[in-house]
A = this chain, B = another copy of it.
């Protein structure tokens, strides 16, 4: 049965949102079209009414994941300062909750490895997202530095590496040790600003 334009657009948005979460939870190849459509409350046949291929959705879901982060970042910056927003972002990044909930966490930590082996459309969307994130970190922490973007890239690499490594081990104590160790590195990176 045909849906109204509004309902169809809402369906599309729902697919992208759930894909952004499931890809981060299960990996790009670990979340199938059937899974994604079921999560969005539909059957798989309708998928190609909205997207030309799974690849197209992957790119859009990555954009959506980074856009969510940027929006929350900007909202926090607007209600306090860019610096406070960046501080809060980093503080949340290195908490155990982020390790345990990849679906609503950083796409770099969750999917950086996958995207390194993915197609050009996914890599392109990902690269834009990395830039949008580092731009905000640079503005928050290194706005008076000539190479603020570079420092922000280093900060993001440290953050993502810490969370990815913590997730790769099962032992809770070692996870905490990796998070604590990463936190010290990050503090030093910020102190140099």
In the complex the two chains form, is A165's CB within 8 Å of B120's CB? Answer: no
Q: How large is the interface on A (under 10, 10 to 19, 20 to 34, 35 or more residues)?
A: 35 or more
Q: Is A6 an interface residue (CB 8 A)?
A: no
A74-105 vs B, Cβ < 8 Å mask (1 yes, 0 no): 00000000000000000000000000001000
Candidates B126, B151, B154; contact of A168 at CB < 8 Å = B126
Quick one: closest B residue to A29, CB to CB? B29
In the complex the two chains form, is B153's CB within 8 Å of A157's CB? Answer: no
A160-193 vs B, Cβ < 8 Å mask (1 yes, 0 no): 1110111111110010011011101100110010
Given A30-B29, A169-B127, is A177 in contact with B150 using a C-beta cutoff of 8 Å?
Answer: yes
* This chain's copy number in the assembly: 2
In the complex the two chains form, is B177's CB within 8 Å of A188's CB? Answer: no
Taking CB atoms, residues of chain B closer than 8 Å to A29 are: 27, 29-30
Shortest CB distance A129–B (Å): 10
CA distance A149 to B26 in the complex (A): 30
In the complex the two chains form, is B26's CB within 8 Å of A164's CB? Answer: no
CA distance A180 to B157 in the complex (A): 11
Sample of 10 more A-B contacts, CB < 8 Å, known A127-B168, A154-B182, A185-B189: A30-B117, A123-B169, A124-B170, A127-B169, A154-B181, A154-B184, A157-B161, A157-B164, A158-B185, A161-B161
A interface with B by C-beta (< 8 Å): 26-27, 29-30, 102, 108-117, 120, 123-124, 126-127, 130, 149-151, 153-154, 156-162, 164-171, 174, 177-178, 180-182, 184-185, 188-189, 192
